[in-house]
């Protein structure tokens, strides 16, 4: 027969034991040190959010964030001038080879979020969308992109070339050559062509968006996370012209308020939005003594909290299957 006088005490003891077990499971191991992040300007605000939240639980870790462009990331990692190399593009074969020659092994690459590179116009611009051939004709000197039967490689220099509702010389804004966003745009939108003369190159994405918001005839490219009320992101068609295919925004209109982010941002997740890309963080984990502080930070970045912060910063959390793959990469370290 059960002793009822002991039962409440035993239940309380079990609850307390369970609470301590849960706390032990959820509390992160404490690490310390200084981490230096050198790389992407596109990820500047995202890195700052991650660092702010991470150091709440890891007060003995300090950070130095240098966001001068993805072009600075690989060299800093190679020369031991940074522990973290955030990049808005993948490392080039040349950068990977330089790292291998210096270290004798590959850098570790983590996909950390999805981004939609946007074509921004002034909020009052009547244009709602462009085909990727039109984007090439607006920005490129060479017009190397010919994607279909209706493709037109003639230059587009005035808004009247794409709409009946506006005229005026198109003014171009973009990033400089140190930027991974610059590299991605050249490869994807210009088919590795050259920019037109006269494009205004700015050092950071926020400056581009602010410049477009102040100029009714402007168009510029930057990560969607930098969108403000003064600009509008154009829908884009991967086909040659508006006669051939659908236009895609960075979100799916049908699911624009859906809590399921993979549905809401389905065009980016499925690669239908033409300027979709992964964001990366590269680390040096090939030695026998991988930095425990770097590992703890990457575990946080790939945690549910870290991915929520990516969304709060204007980016798109990794799809479930990709997130599982990146977490498995951490588990193998």
Q: Does residue 44 lie within any of the structural domains?
A: yes
Q: Clarify whether residues 247 and 315 are in a common domain.
A: no
**Rounded CA gap, 197 and 43, in Å?**
28
- As given in the structure block, the two tokens for residue 271 are 């690669």
Residues of the chain with pLDDT under 50: 1-25
Say if residue 110 is in the same domain as residue 136.
Answer: no
- Report the distance separating Cα 120 and Cα 219, nearest Å: 6
Sign of CA dihedral 103, 88, 113, 147: negative
CATH number at residue 232: 3.40.190.10
Indicate if 74 and 152 belong to the same structural domain: no
Inter-residue contact 105 to 286 (CB < 8 Å): yes
How much is the pLDDT for 64? 96
Mean pLDDT of the chain: 88
The residue among 269, 290, 318 that closes a domain is 269
Q: Determine the pLDDT at residue 244.
A: 57
> How would you classify residue 271: left for phi > 0, otherwise alpha for psi between -120 and 50, otherwise beta?
left
Pair 137, 89 in one domain? no
Structure token pair of residue 264: 């809401």
- Among residues 143, 147, 173, 169, which one has the least CA distance to residue 158? 169
For residue 235, which of 112, 130, 105, 88 has the smallest C-alpha distance? 130
Structure tokens belonging to residue 12: 């309380």
144 lies in the same domain as 239? yes
**110/219 same-domain check:** no
Residues 78 and 174 placed together within one structural domain of the fold: no
Distance CA 99, CA 217 (A): 43
* Boundary of a domain, candidates 224, 253, 269: 269
Say if 154 falls within a structural domain: yes
Question: Does 37 map to a domain?
Answer: yes
Same domain, 97 and 180: no
Number of structural domains, the chain? 2
Burial 51-81 (b: 16+ CB within 10 A, else e): bebbeeebeebebebbbbbbbbbbbbbbeee
pLDDT for the residue numbered 332: 79
- Give the Å distances, CA to CA, from 43 to 3, 113, 284: 61, 10, 19
Token pair for residue 221?
A: 């490219």
Q: Provide the token pair at 137.
A: 């004709």
Residue 310: exposed, middle, or buried by beta-carbon count in 10 A (0-12, 13-18, 19+)?
buried
Supply the range of the domain harboring residue 242.
116-269
Q: Does a structural domain hold residue 64?
A: yes
Helices (H) and strands (E) in the chain, counts: 12, 11
Within this chain, do residues 110 and 120 fall inside the same structural domain, yes or no? no
> Could you tell me if 46 and 176 lie in one domain?
no
70 within a domain of the structure (yes/no): yes
Instruction: Let me know if residue 157 belongs to a domain.
Output: yes
149 and 103 part of one domain: no
Is 62 within the bounds of a domain? yes
Contact status, residue 273 vs residue 248, Cβ threshold 8 Å:
yes
Give yes or no: residues 82 and 173 share one domain. no
**pLDDT score for 240:** 58
Cβ atoms of 301 and 63 within 8 Å: the answer is no
| C-alpha pair distances (Å), 180 with each of 16, 208, 220 | 51, 15, 15
Residue ending a domain, choose from 244, 269, 294:
269
Q: Look at residue 284 and tell me if it is in a domain.
A: yes
């Amino acid at each position: 027969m059960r002793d009822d006088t002991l039962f409440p005490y035993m239940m309380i003891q079990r609850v307390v034991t369970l609470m301590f077990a849960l706390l032990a499971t959820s509390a992160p191991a404490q690490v310390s040190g200084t981490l230096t992040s050198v790389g992407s300007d596109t990820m500047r605000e995202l890195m700052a959010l991650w660092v702010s939240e991470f150091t709440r639980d890891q007060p003995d870790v300090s950070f130095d964030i240098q966001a001068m462009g993805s072009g600075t990331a690989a060299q800093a990692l190679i020369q031991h001038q940074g522990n973290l190399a955030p990049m808005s593009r993948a490392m080039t074969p040349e950068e990977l080879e330089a790292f291998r020659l210096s270290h004798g092994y590959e850098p570790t690459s983590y996909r950390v979020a999805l981004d939609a590179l946007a074509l921004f116009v002034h909020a009052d611009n009547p244009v709602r969308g462009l085909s990727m051939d039109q984007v090439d004709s607006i920005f490129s000197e060479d017009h190397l992109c010919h994607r279909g039967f209706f493709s037109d490689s003639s230059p587009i220099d005035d808004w009247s070339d794409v709409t009946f509702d506006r005229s005026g010389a198109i003014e171009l804004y973009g990033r400089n050559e140190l930027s991974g966003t610059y590299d991605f745009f050249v490869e994807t939108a210009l088919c590795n062509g050259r920019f037109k003369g006269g494009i205004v190159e700015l050092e950071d994405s926020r400056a581009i968006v602010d410049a477009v918001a102040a100029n009714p005839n402007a168009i510029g490219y930057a990560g969607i996370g930098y969108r403000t009320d003064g600009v509008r992101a154009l829908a884009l068609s991967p086909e040659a012209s508006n006669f051939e295919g659908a236009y895609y925004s960075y979100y799916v209109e049908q699911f624009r308020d859906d809590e399921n982010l993979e549905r809401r941002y389905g065009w980016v997740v499925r690669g239908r939005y033409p300027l979709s890309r992964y964001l990366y963080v590269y680390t040096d984990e090939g030695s026998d003594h991988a930095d425990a502080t770097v590992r703890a930070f990457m575990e946080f970045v790939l945690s549910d909290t870290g991915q929520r912060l990516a969304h709060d910063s204007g980016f798109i959390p990794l799809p479930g299957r990709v997130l599982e793959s990146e977490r498995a990469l951490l588990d193998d370290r």
